[in-house]
Structure 1
Amino acid sequence: MTANLVQQRADRRAWLGLTIVLCLVALVAMDGSVLYLAMPSITSAITPSTDQALWILDIYGFVVASFLITFGTVGDRYGRLRLLVIGSIVFGVGSVGAAFSTTPEMLIAFRALMGLGGATLLPSGLAIISNLFHDAKQRAQAIGIFAATFAAGFVVGPILGGVLLNHYSWGSVFLINIPIVVLFLAFAPVLLREVRTSNPGRVDALSVALSSVGILLAVYSVKSAAAHGFSLTQAVTGVLGIATLWWFVSRQRTLEYPLVDFKLFHDRVFTIAILTGTVTLVAWSAASYLTGVYLQSVLGYGILTAAMAALPGAFVLTGACIGANVVVERVGKKTAFVASLFFMAVGLLILLLTSVTGGVWVFIASTVVASVGYGFSFSLVAETAVAAVPMERAGSAGALAEMSNELGNALGISLLGSLAAVCFRLLGPDVAGTLDETLDTPGLAAGTIADAEQAFVTGMHVAIGVASLILFTLGFLALRWLPRSAPEEARETEGAEAV
C-alpha cells in the first residue's frame, strides 16, 4: 500500500509542469486587467472614441468568455496540450500586434485575437493539471494554486502595467507576454502530457455563433447608448442581441451535448455561486478601471504612484485567497461565502467618500476591505459550484465557474463603465465623450476642467453605488439560499445545548 501511495504522488516533472501552465494562466488573467491604468496613455496616443475605448478594455474578456466552454469541448476531442500550444501561439501573435497598433481599430482587433488564444488556455490548463497529479490531496492543492494564480493575475495586472508604463510606452504591457509564451512553447512538450476524453461529444457550431454574436450585439447596444445616446439603430441592435441570446438558450435545452448545460441552474446553490463569480468581477473590473482614471486624471498622480496605491489591496487579496480554506474550516462555507459578498459591498461603499480634491487614502481603505471579499470569493466560487452538482457534471460546473469570472470582467466595464460614461455625458461640460479626451482638449478654462472632473467623480459614484447594491442583494440571497455547513451546524447545536 505504501508503495502505491508513493507511486501516486507527483514528481518534480509534475510540479514543473504546473509551474509552466501557471505562467499562461497568470497571463490570461493579467491581460484582462492590465489596461486599467494604461488607458489614459492609450487615449493620448491613438485617440479612441468613447465606445472604442470601452471596446479596447473589454473585447478581450468577451471573446474569452464567449469561447471558453467551446474550446473546452474542442480540447476534449482533439487534445488539450495541442490546443494549449496553438492557443499560446495565437495569444503571442495577438500580443505583438496589440503592442504595435497605430489605430483604435487595430488594437481592438488584436485584443480580440488575444482573447481567442486566451480562451483555449484556462480549460485546457486545468485539465492538464488535473492529469499531472494522481494523488487526491496533491491534485486539490494544485487546483487551489491554479485558482489563486488566476485571482492574483487580475490584481497584479494593473500594478504591472503601472510599473511598465512608468519606464516604457504603452505597448510594453503587451510585449511582456512574449517571453512567457516562448518559455511555454519550449518546455511544454517536455513537461506536459496530452489529455483527451474518449466521448467528448460534438461542437455545435450554431451555438458558438449564437452565443458570440448575441453577446457582442447586446454589448454594442449598451456601449452605443452610453457614448452617443439612444437611437433607432442602437435599439434594434440591442433587441437583435437579446433575441439571439434567447435562441442560444433555447437551443441548448434541445442538444445532447450543449455548450452550456442550463439545467445546472435549477440548483439554487449552483446559481448563487455562478452569480457571485460574475458579480464579483463586474464590481472589481469596473472599480479598478474607474479608480485608475480617477487617481491619474482627477487627482493627478503618476502611473507608478497609482499602481503603488493598489499594492495594499493586492497583498490583502492574496492573503485572503491563501487563508480562505482555514476560515471556511473555522466558520463554515456559508458564513465565509456571505461574508465575502458583504466585505466587497462595504469596501465599494467606502469609495463614495472620494472627491475631486482628494481621496487616495479612501481608495486604499476601500481596496483593503473589498479585497477580503474578493479573495474569499475567488477561492470559494468554483468549489461551491462543483460541489453543488452531481460528479458526472462537475466538468460543466467548473467551466461555467471560469466563464462567469471572464464574463463578469467584461460586463463590469461594459455595463458599469457605460453607466459612468452616461453620467459624464449628461453632467459634463459637453466638450468630449470622456474625461481624458476632455482634458486633452487645448485651451480649456479652469471652470470647464473642474466641471469635467466633478462629472466623472459623480459618474464613478453612481456606478460604484449600483455595484455595491447588487452585492448586498446577492449577499442576502446567499444568506437565505445556501445550506449550512458542518461548523455552522455544530455551533448552532452547542448554542442550543447551552440554553
Structure 2
Amino acid sequence: MNEQPVSHSPGLRAWLGLLVISGPVLLVAMDGSVLFLAMPKVTEALSPTADQSLWILDSYGFAVGSLLIAFGNIGDRYGRLKLLVSGAAAFGVGSAGAAFAPSPELLIAFRTLMGVAGATLLPSALAVLSELFTDPRHRARAIGIFAATFAAGFAIGPVVGGQLLSSFWWGSVFLINLPVVLLFLLLAPVLLREVRAAGTGRVDALSVLLSAGGILLTVYGIKHAAAEGLTVTSVATGIAGLVTLGWFARRQLRLEHPLIDFRLFRDRMFTIAIITGLLPLAAWSAVAYLGGIYLQSVLGLPVLDAALVALPGAAVLTVTCVVTPALVARVGTRAALITCHFCIATGLLLLLPTGVSGGAGWYLASTVIAGVGYGISFSVVADTAVAAVPAERAGSAAAIAETSNEIGNALGIALLGSLAALLFRLQGPDLADTLDETLQIPDLAPAVTGDAKAAFVTGLHAAALTASVLHGTLGILTTRWTPRTLPTTGDGGPGPTTHAGDPGTKPLDEAAGIGRRR
C-alpha cells in the first residue's frame, strides 16, 4: 500500500517568521525605486551632476545584481541566517548613512553599501523561508507571498517616497528602513533557524570581481558618453568593460561551479524567460524615474500629487502579481508571456502624447496598462526559467532569474536614462546637464525654460519608444519560440520540461539545494 503524503499545517512560528522575513524583502525591493520621485529634492539639496544623479539611482541595483549569486553561494557554505542578520545590519548602517549624506559621492557610497547588503538578503530569506514551511503546499503559498511582497516593494517605492517627501526632507526615504531593520534583528534569532546546503562548492572570487567590474566599467562608459559625448575615456572604459565581461563568460564555461551557467541559454524558452525578467524591469525603472521628473519638474505637480498619479499603476502591478499564478493555471504560461510583453509595449506607447503643457492622464493610463505586463513578468519568470531546464539545474536557473530582475532594474536607468540624458544634452539650452539643474538657474527666461522642458520630454519619448519596440519584438519572438502547450505541475502551474535522462522533477527550493538544515 502506498503511503499518502501528510500535510503538516505550519504553526504560529512559521507565519511570524514569514512576517519577519517579509520586512527586509520589502525594503530591498522598495529601495530600488524609492528615489524616483525624490530625485528633484536630492538634486536641489546636493547638486549632483547628470552622471552622479544616475549613479545615485542605480549603484544600488548594480551592487545587488552583481553579487546576488555570489552571496547565495556564500550563504550555502557559511549559513543563511548568519548572512541574513549580517546583511540586515549592514543595510541599516547604509540607510542611516544615506539619509544624512552631505555630498553626492557619499550618497553613492552608502547606496552601494545598501546594495551589497541587499544582495545578502534575497537568496538567504528564501532559503530560511523554506525551512519554516516544510509542507510543499504551504511552502508554495509562502513563496507566493514572498514574491508578491517583493513586487509590491518595487511598485510602492515611488509612492512611499512621494508621501514622505510631502512632509519631510529627502533623507526620510532612507530612515524608514531603520525600524524594520531593528525589529528584524531582534526577532530573527528567536523565530528563524540556521540553514545551509551541502555540496555547494567554493565561490570563485575572480568571477565575482570580473562580473561586477565588467558591468560597472561598461555602464560607466555608456553614462560618460551620454553626459560628455564620445571621449577617449568613455570609449576606453566601455571597451574594457566588454572585454572583462567576455573574460567572465569564458571563465564560467570552464568552472565546475560557475556563478552563471551560460549553457542554460541554449534553450530558447529559458532565454525568453530571462529576458522577460530583465527587460520589463528595465522599462519600468526608467519610466518611473523619468516619469517622476516629468510630473514634478515639467508639469509642476507637488510631490504628493505626483505620488498619487503613480498610485493606480502601482496598485495594478501588485494585484496582477498576486492573481497571475491562478490565471496562468487557466490560460497557460505562453499566453501570459505574450500578454506581458504586448501590454508593456502598448502602455509605453501611451507616453508619446505627453507634452510640456499636459500629460498626467496619459502617464496614468500608461502605467496602468503597462502595470499588467509588469505584474505578469514578476510572477512567471522564475517558474518559466526553471521549467525550461533539467531538474538538476533548477537552482542555477532560479538564481539567474533573480539576478536578471536586479540587473534589469539598474540597466533601465543606466541605458534608457542615459539615452534621455543624451537627447537633453543635444536638444536642450546647454546651460546644465539635467533639467532640474537648468531650472535652478536664477532669472531663467520663459523661452529657455520651455526649451529645457521640451528637450526632456523628447528624451522621455525616446526612452519609452525604445523600450516599447523591444517589448513588441520580444512579444513576437515569444509567439514563435514558445511551445503552444507547456508541461504543468500538480497545482496547475508550469512545470519543468522533460529532458531525456532526467531523474524527474523537484520543487524549486529542493532543486536549488536550499532549505536543508544542519
What is the TM-score normalised by the length of structure 1? Answer: 0.96
1:44-83 map, 5 Å: 44-83=44-83
How far has the Cα of 1:387 moved from its partner? 1.5
* Aligned partners of 2:13 and 2:191 also within 8 Å: yes
Match in the other structure for 2:496: none
How far has the Cα of 1:378 moved from its partner? 0.6
How far has the Cα of 1:3 moved from its partner? 10
Match in the other structure for 1:367: 367
Hey, what's the Cα distance between the residues in 2 that align with 1:461 and 1:198? 50
Match in the other structure for 2:238: 238
Match in the other structure for 1:496: none
Match in the other structure for 2:260: 260
* Aligned partners of 1:329 and 1:487 also within 8 Å: no
* Aligned partners of 1:207 and 1:248 also within 8 Å: yes
How far has the Cα of 1:486 moved from its partner? 6.2
Q: 3-state SS of the aligned residue for 1:253?
A: helix
Q: 3-state SS of the aligned residue for 2:455?
A: helix
How far has the Cα of 1:284 moved from its partner? 0.2
Q: Bigger shift: 329-338 or 411-420?
A: 329-338
How far has the Cα of 1:399 moved from its partner? 1.1
- Which residue type is aligned with residue 391 of structure 1? A
- The answer as to 2:418 corresponding to 1:393 is no
Residues 215-259 of structure 1 show CA distances to partners (whole Å, capped at 9, x for unaligned) of 100010011011111101111111100000000000000011111
- Which residue type is aligned with residue 278 of structure 1? L
Hey, what's the Cα distance between the residues in 1 that align with 2:229 and 2:115? 28
Match in the other structure for 1:491: none
1:57-456 map, 5 Å: 57-456=57-456
Hey, what's the Cα distance between the residues in 1 that align with 2:352 and 2:219? 27
Match in the other structure for 1:492: none
- Structure 1 runs, 4 residues or longer, greater than 6 Å off: 1-4
- Which residue type is aligned with residue 6 of structure 2? L
How far has the Cα of 1:175 moved from its partner? 0.5
Q: Bigger shift: 466-475 or 322-331?
A: 322-331
Q: 3-state SS of the aligned residue for 1:351?
A: coil
Hey, what's the Cα distance between the residues in 2 that align with 1:141 and 1:207? 35
Match in the other structure for 2:33: 33
* Aligned partners of 1:330 and 1:487 also within 8 Å: no
Residues 173-230 of structure 1 show CA distances to partners (whole Å, capped at 9, x for unaligned) of 0000000000000000111111101211001010011011111000100110111111
Residues 410-438 of structure 1 show CA distances to partners (whole Å, capped at 9, x for unaligned) of 00000000000000000000010000000
- Which residue type is aligned with residue 55 of structure 2? W
How far has the Cα of 1:146 moved from its partner? 1.1
How far has the Cα of 1:318 moved from its partner? 1.7
How far has the Cα of 1:391 moved from its partner? 1.7
Q: 3-state SS of the aligned residue for 2:201?
A: coil
* Aligned partners of 1:40 and 1:436 also within 8 Å: yes
Hey, what's the Cα distance between the residues in 2 that align with 1:348 and 1:267? 29
Q: Between the two proteins, what is the percent identity of the paired residues?
A: 61
How far has the Cα of 1:343 moved from its partner? 0.3
- Which residue type is aligned with residue 249 of structure 1? A
Residues 14-73 of structure 1 show CA distances to partners (whole Å, capped at 9, x for unaligned) of 111111111111000000000000000000000000000000000000000000000000
Q: Bigger shift: 253-262 or 326-335?
A: 326-335
- Which residue type is aligned with residue 404 of structure 1? S
Residues 377-421 of structure 1 show CA distances to partners (whole Å, capped at 9, x for unaligned) of 111111111111122211111111111010000000000000000
Query: Residues 487 and 354 of structure 1: is their aligned pair in 2 closer, same or farther, counting only changes over 3 Å?
Result: farther
- Which residue type is aligned with residue 165 of structure 2? L
How far has the Cα of 1:116 moved from its partner? 0.5
- Which residue type is aligned with residue 193 of structure 1? R
How far has the Cα of 1:266 moved from its partner? 1.1
Match in the other structure for 2:12: 12
Hey, what's the Cα distance between the residues in 2 that align with 1:315 and 1:412? 21
**Pairwise CA RMSD:** 1.4
How far has the Cα of 1:5 moved from its partner? 2.1
Hey, what's the Cα distance between the residues in 2 that align with 1:452 and 1:69? 42
Hey, what's the Cα distance between the residues in 2 that align with 1:35 and 1:314? 15
Hey, what's the Cα distance between the residues in 2 that align with 1:106 and 1:261? 35
Hey, what's the Cα distance between the residues in 1 that align with 2:326 and 2:239? 47
How far has the Cα of 1:326 moved from its partner? 2.3
- Which residue type is aligned with residue 395 of structure 2? G
* Aligned partners of 2:10 and 2:133 also within 8 Å: yes
Hey, what's the Cα distance between the residues in 1 that align with 2:375 and 2:255? 36
Q: Bigger shift: 45-54 or 14-23?
A: 14-23
Residues 346-378 of structure 1 show CA distances to partners (whole Å, capped at 9, x for unaligned) of 000001110101001111111110011111111
Q: 3-state SS of the aligned residue for 2:6?
A: helix
Hey, what's the Cα distance between the residues in 2 that align with 1:336 and 1:140? 20
Q: Specify which structure has the higher proportion of helix.
A: 1
How far has the Cα of 1:487 moved from its partner? 10
- Which residue type is aligned with residue 112 of structure 2? A
Query: Residues 391 and 486 of structure 1: is their aligned pair in 2 closer, same or farther, counting only changes over 3 Å?
Result: closer
Hey, what's the Cα distance between the residues in 1 that align with 2:299 and 2:195? 51
Hey, what's the Cα distance between the residues in 2 that align with 1:374 and 1:163? 23
How far has the Cα of 1:330 moved from its partner? 2.1
In structure 2, stretches of 5+ residues that fail to align are: 489-518
* Aligned partners of 1:78 and 1:196 also within 8 Å: yes
Hey, what's the Cα distance between the residues in 2 that align with 1:408 and 1:448? 35
In structure 1, stretches of 5+ residues that fail to align are: 489-499
How far has the Cα of 1:117 moved from its partner? 0.3
How far has the Cα of 1:4 moved from its partner? 6.8
* Aligned partners of 1:65 and 1:404 also within 8 Å: yes
How far has the Cα of 1:267 moved from its partner? 1.1
* Aligned partners of 1:79 and 1:194 also within 8 Å: yes
* Aligned partners of 2:101 and 2:107 also within 8 Å: yes
Hey, what's the Cα distance between the residues in 2 that align with 1:186 and 1:367? 38
Hey, what's the Cα distance between the residues in 2 that align with 1:378 and 1:245? 26
Match in the other structure for 1:497: none
Hey, what's the Cα distance between the residues in 2 that align with 1:397 and 1:131? 21
